[in-house]
Chains A and B, each alone.
Chain A
């Protein structure tokens, strides 16, 4: 069990990290970065798997199934579109990839 106060520290530090990562980003990357962060919260699929994995009644299994369905869609879709966008960014200097 993660204690409430420890959770609070985790949340606080994660928030600082998120803020720091974004604070110096150039406008040209706003769209890909939004897409990339959208992919990262696709980690919800892991929670959905656990929720479904310990579900017992029919209703729980149904909702858990929907959760995995949605979460996996978030992760995979988010990855594909972000990767497609970033793949296109090239410099005019050759070999500078």
Chain B
């Protein structure tokens, strides 16, 4: 049966690669995941006749049924706003699985070629770190764990912990069958601890980059364990994800203007003081909903800048309703999405898509920034730091250099905001004080509702 298994793995590797390729365009993305899913079904089904499986079929089926059921149920019911932490936890499971595979091989204490043993241990280390790290990332984004845990000398402690873990790992890898079960246990416990320790000090805003990094690490671990098991499907799929995930991590970090090393080894807010240079000229000028409705209803072009605050207020459906009303009045409506809008790059697109907004009126920062100058109204909903002009003008500011949406270039700027506080970075937003800006105070969903009823009355 070996040829059947090998042929099936080959086909599933092809399906994975082309599936991922199709997922990189919105037009074919849906087909892509179905292809990849088909690859998974083929690979899993054929593994039941894998020549190395001698028994334990009951256990295999039981584990698969229980776990699939739970994962299916949790995946169906999770809200779109909670997607990042869901991805984190599923990713953690994969890392844990790779580590557990290594553990099964290592507790057997059988003779392995040196290279196989090294890769088994390396995969175990990476997989375990991805497992415990992803779990902490999940807990943080889910709000189970709110505090960022920091102490002085933390980096030294973490480095020491990692060095110790790596040292014990190296001993296991090079000692043939000499290592004891106890050393193995210590190794896994230390690797778990390191994953926890490295993720604890990272703030919620940087978490997406970290999740993406753990995703890449899990892929790598899976690829390595694939070699240990002589399984080409695992090797190819794992390494493809490892490399794609690394690039994706870099792209995300770049979009957030945060080098990966900064995310991992420094603490936002600790870097530089924000005081002193933060005086704002001008005043906050409130406006009422009917005036905004008139402004938008008779505009030629409106650009909407949504932020995570909009998603929290669940205002995206109302905004799509508003958009349709404006389109009926021949207003050109576009959405401008900052790369870090939402909780991770692309998250806001998902939230808007959920409300029914077609992706071809949604634009990236690079595509739309020039257009603000020709817009009559820029409507900022629940976004703050991503439209703060100090990122262009004030080198003292912690967000200086971050690419921002040039909402301030529009003829009129309307900001829907709950209260007068600063953004989550704690930085005053100079846009709110600008001459062409008006503040519409209130809950995003309620305010957009008022805009809709006002426009309907024209």
Is B71 within 8 A of A72, CB to CB?
A: yes
A43, A72, A97 interface centre (most CB from chain B within 10 Å): A43
B353 touches A19 (CB 8 A): no
Given contacts A22-B244, A67-B101, contact A89 B75 (CB under 8 A): no
Number of A residues with CB within 8 Å of any CB on chain B = 85
Contact present for B32 and A36 (CB under 8 Å):
yes
Q: Does B215 contact A (CB under 8 A)?
A: yes
Which single member of A21, A53, A81, A85 contacts B54 (CB below 8 Å)?
A53
> Which residues from A are CB-within-8-Å of B71?
72-77, 80
Count chain B residues whose beta carbon lies closer than 8 angstroms to a beta carbon of A. Answer: 117
| Sample of 19 more A-B contacts, CB < 8 Å, known A28-B337, A40-B20 | A2-B230, A14-B223, A22-B24, A31-B346, A33-B346, A37-B248, A41-B215, A41-B241, A42-B94, A44-B222, A49-B48, A50-B53, A52-B104, A65-B59, A75-B44, A85-B353, A86-B23, A86-B33, A90-B359
In order of increasing CB-CB distance, the 9 nearest A-B pairs are A53-B53, A80-B75, A18-B243, A92-B358, A67-B100, A30-B346, A77-B71, A71-B97, A74-B94
Offer 29 A-B interface pairs, CB within 8 angstroms, sorted by A: A11-B223, A16-B243, A22-B248, A27-B339, A28-B26, A28-B359, A29-B25, A30-B248, A31-B349, A31-B350, A32-B29, A32-B346, A41-B91, A41-B237, A41-B238, A44-B94, A47-B231, A50-B229, A53-B56, A53-B57, A55-B104, A66-B100, A68-B60, A73-B67, A74-B91, A77-B74, A77-B93, A78-B91, A92-B361
Q: Which residues of B contact A (CB under 8 A)?
A: 12, 16-17, 19-21, 23-27, 29-30, 32-34, 36-37, 40, 43-44, 47-48, 50, 52-57, 59-60, 62-64, 66-68, 70-72, 74-76, 78, 80, 83-84, 86-87, 89-91, 93-94, 96-98, 100-101, 103-105, 107-108, 115, 211-212, 215, 218-219, 222-223, 225-227, 229-245, 247-248, 251-252, 255, 337, 339, 342, 344-347, 349-350, 353-354, 356, 358-362, 364-365
